[in-house]
């Protein structure tokens, strides 16, 4: 891997650690970790853990019999934790090929991204687990999948055998790497332009974080997207579930031009989020 690509890979992993640290302090994280208490006829209450949490724990423990039983009871095989990780992501990280195969054979989505856009193939590539990556690719995993940092699985690996595998598959499939990295921005520009043409906006939020398209564009420095969204009528001070405005997102990810555009659009620079007692300043 070239020095520039290596630098991109290191930066991606560092930012991912920062993203997970942010989740550790979020209200979403705190609420998701709280077990439910089920009322009973006795004077003692019993803790009733959510089925999804039990399923994830069984998969992590490699207990296929319990996993099979939970699936028969209706457990969702693509259940996600607070970070958007599925059991398949975790099995890839744990280098548990048997569990990976078991989950895929029972319907796990090989291309499901977590909250930061990492697919199971990203996870396997980052860890350098070639055998798992080979299996995922055979099962239809996208070698051109791009995470929220614009990284392909190839970009997040430091292992030469993994690089060779992914490069060979990219060549075999005729993937245009740069086009793949820019695909998200292209689609966002297309959607934003459509809202401008229609004279109305459709503000959808991330189901877990509450982030809007403007948050995403600000965090990634998609300036043209931001201009179109603001022109279409997006409110500049919209907050996500943790109280982050687009300016928080732009400042956190070091997007100076995005910050400048938001300030010029008269955003409130004194909004305090729910994670830390501080404003965007």
The domain limits of the chain are 3-176, 182-264
Q: Which residue has the higher pLDDT, 124 or 241?
A: 124
For the domain covering 182-264, report its CATH number. Answer: 1.25.40.20
Stretch 84-108: mean pLDDT, rounded? 96
Model pLDDT, residue 45: 37
The distance in angstroms from the start CA to the end CA of the chain is 38
Q: Is the pLDDT of residue 262 over 90?
A: yes
CB 147 within 8 A of CB 116: yes
Share above pLDDT 70 across residues of the chain, in percent, rounded to a whole number:
80
- Please give the class, per CATH, of domain 3-176: mainly alpha
CB 270 within 8 A of CB 251: no
Model pLDDT, residue 279: 54
Model pLDDT, residue 276: 61
CA dihedral 22, 28, 31, 32 (to 10 degrees): -90
Angle at 172 between CA 128 and CA 94, to 5 degrees: 20
User: Which residues are paired to 47 by β-bridges?
Assistant: 37
Model pLDDT, residue 103: 97
Stretch 265-281: mean pLDDT, rounded? 75
* Mean residue pLDDT across the chain: 82
SS3 state at 174: coil
Stretch 112-133: mean pLDDT, rounded? 94
Tell me the chain's radius of gyration from C-alpha atoms.
Answer: 21
Model-level pTM? Answer: 0.69
CA distance 239 to 27: 14
The answer to whether 3-176 and 182-264 have equal CATH topology is: yes
CA distance 94 to 48: 27
User: Which strand (E) or helix (H) includes residue 38?
Assistant: strand 36-38
Q: pLDDT tens digits for 156-176? A: 999 999 999 999 999 999 999
Could you tell me the pLDDT band of residue 124, with boundaries at 50, 70 and 90?
very high
SS3 state at 43: coil
Q: Is the pLDDT of residue 181 over 90?
A: no
Model pLDDT, residue 76: 93
42 by Cβ neighbours in 10 Å (0-12 / 13-18 / 19+) ranks as exposed
């Amino acid at each position: 891997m070239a020095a520039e690509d290596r630098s991109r890979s290191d930066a991606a992993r560092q930012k991912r650690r920062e993203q997970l640290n942010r989740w550790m302090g979020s209200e979403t994280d705190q609420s998701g970790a709280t077990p439910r208490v089920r009322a009973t006829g006795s004077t003692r209450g019993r803790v009733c853990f959510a089925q999804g949490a039990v399923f994830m724990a069984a998969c992590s423990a490699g207990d296929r019999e319990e996993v099979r039983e939970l699936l028969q009871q209706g457990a969702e095989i693509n259940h996600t934790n607070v970070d958007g990780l599925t059991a398949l992501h975790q099995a890839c990280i744990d280098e548990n090929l048997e569990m990976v195969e078991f989950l895929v054979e029972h319907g796990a989505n090989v291309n499901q991204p977590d909250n930061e856009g990492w697919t199971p193939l990203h996870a396997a590539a980052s860890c350098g687990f070639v055998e798992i990556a080979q299996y995922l690719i055979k099962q239809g995993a996208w070698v051109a999948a791009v995470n929220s940092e614009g990284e392909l699985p190839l970009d997040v690996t430091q292992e030469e055998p993994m690089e060779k595998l992914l490069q060979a598959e990219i060549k075999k499939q005729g993937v245009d790497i740069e086009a793949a990295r820019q695909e998200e921005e292209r689609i966002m520009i297309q959607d934003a332009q459509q809202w401008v043409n229609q004279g109305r906006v459709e503000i959808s939020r991330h189901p877990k974080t509450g982030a809007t398209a403007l948050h995403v564009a600000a965090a990634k420095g998609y300036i043209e997207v931001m201009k179109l969204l603001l022109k279409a009528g997006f409110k500049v001070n919209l907050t996500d579930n943790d109280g982050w405005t687009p300016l928080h997102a732009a400042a956190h990810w070091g997007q100076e031009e995005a910050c400048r555009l938001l300030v010029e659009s008269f955003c409130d620079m004194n909004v305090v989020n729910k994670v830390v007692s501080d404003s965007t300043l």
